[in-house]
Amino acid sequence: MQVAILSDIHGNRHALEAVLEDVDRSRAQRIWCLGDVVGYGADPNDCCAIVRDAAHICLAGNHDLAVTGELSLDEFSRGAALAARWTQEVLRDEHVRWLRSLEPTYVNEALGLYHASPRDPIWEYVLNALLAELCLDAAGRRLCVVGHSHVALSFVRRDGEATTGEARKAGETAELAGAEWIVNPGSVGQPRDGDPRAAWLLLDADTGHAQWRRVQYDVAGAGAAIRAARLPDSLAERLQYGQ
């Protein structure tokens, strides 16, 4: 089964629509979302409606939980808190109820999906090999898929070897069978790896073949929407640089 894995959409409808067009061109039969459907962007209602309709699995991210009131905004940066308060004001009740129905983790015998990490599915950023090793120990599964960091990457632990990791660029692939892996698709709506293109991961859940993908989208349109909503200008500026 071919699965499209998306994460960290952050209310960026322009990026989400471009990714879904690329998903349609692929062989993906399912869509899994790792959370943060809302957040920094100006189209939270559109993104909730699209993901609710398209995704077969959707997790709750920390920004989703902030908007629904399940996390204190004191835990967030100034820009993130301002965006969350604005989102609370404009988000329709049906989408609030949907976000409240989501969990930050989904696991089965084969794999685990976590918004952030197996050890802390809401807050922990898995950005180095030591943390990845601890997370693999905690998960007890051969494949973990995480979001939250906004960086496309992978970590692998082969039998008898230490965990290693690397950032992943557009078009790179990995064969996940025969080892323990943590993979991150990167961010749809606010990449932070220096590449402003929207990121997602195509996973063959049967063979373990993974491909990291990037898609051009209307960055200027997304930025204009942020400015029109009178959200912090920095949230629009950073989209241009993938930071």
Q: What is the mean pLDDT of residues 80-85?
A: 97
Residue-level pLDDT at 96:
98
The tens digit of pLDDT for each residue in 159-195 reads 999 999 999 999 999 999 999 999 999 999 999 999 9
- Which is it for strands 111-114 and 143-146: parallel, antiparallel or unpaired? parallel
pLDDT digits (tens, 9 = 90+) for 88-103: 999 999 999 999 999 9
How far apart are the C-alpha atoms of 237 and 218, rounded to whole Å? 13
For the segment 20-47, the average pLDDT, to the nearest whole number, is: 97
Q: Which helix (H) or strand (E) holds 167?
A: strand 164-167
pLDDT of 109 above 90: no
Q: Retrieve residue 183's tokens.
A: 């993979």
Query: What does pLDDT average to over the chain?
Result: 97
The residue count of the chain comes to 243
- Domain containing residue 152: CATH number: 3.60.21.10
Please list, in sequence order, all residues whose beta carbon lies within 8 angstroms of the beta carbon of residue 196, skipping any fewer than 6 positions away: 219, 239, 240, 241, 242
Average pLDDT in the 192-211 region? 96
213-234 tens-digit pLDDT: 999 999 999 999 999 999 999 9
Number of domains in the chain: 1
Q: Report pLDDT digits (tens) over 39-57.
A: 999 999 999 999 999 999 9
Q: Cα separation of 190 and 39, whole Å? A: 10
Domain of residue 11 covers: 2-241
Kindly tell me if the per-residue pLDDT of 110 is higher than 90. no
Token pair for 213: 């993908």
This prediction's pTM: 0.96
Distance in angstroms (rounded) separating the CA atoms of residues 76 and 123: 11
H helices within the chain, ranges in order? 13-25, 44-54, 62-67, 78-90, 93-100, 129-139, 219-228, 233-241
User: 42 by DSSP, 3-state: which?
Assistant: coil
Q: What is the pLDDT of residue 80?
A: 96
- pLDDT of the residue at 197: 98
